[in-house]
Amino acid sequence: MSVRKFAGVVGVVLIIVAATGLLWGLTLSEPGLLGSSRTVDCGSALRIEPMDGSSKLGGKYAEQLTDKCADEALLRRAIFWPMAGIGVLVVAGAVLIRPKQSPALSPSPQT
């Protein structure tokens, strides 16, 4: 396998891992009343909204849950967006950068 093909494969793998990390669901463990805990689905790192209905209904913890979900998504964004950018750069480099072609030696015509 050539270096260009290997770089292309590594770039594609980085892009796939980054996309998976950004689209993977975020869950937040929120302690409830009397020590019981509940989990809140926050969507993904691309779309942050507590999916327990509190933000749509205007519950008393809606703003706090949204802020906590945003904090959880910030870490994922900080890791996976640069990873996706590096993957795109590596794939672009593998596709666009060509090795320098040396002129072929051709026999000189004899007259």
Of 84 and 62, the structure prediction assigns the larger pLDDT to: 84
102 falls within a domain: no
101 falls within a domain: no
C-alpha dihedral over 105, 106, 108, 109, to 10 degrees?
180
Cα 3 from chain centroid (whole Å)? 24
60 falls within a domain: yes
Number of domains into which the chain is organized: 1
111 falls within a domain: no
| Cα–Cα distance for residue pair 107/70, rounded to 1 Å | 69
The domain of 90 spans: 3-95
28 falls within a domain: yes
107 falls within a domain: no
105 falls within a domain: no
> With a threshold of 0.75, does the pTM exceed it?
no
- pLDDT at residue number 57: 43
Mean pLDDT of the chain: 79
* pLDDT reading at 54 higher than 70: no
48 falls within a domain: yes
Task: Reduce the DSSP state of residue 48 to 3 states and report it.
Answer: strand
40 confidence band (pLDDT: 50, 70, 90): confident
Of 100 and 61, the structure prediction assigns the larger pLDDT to: 100
- The dihedrals phi and psi of 103, each to the nearest 5 degrees, come to -65, 135
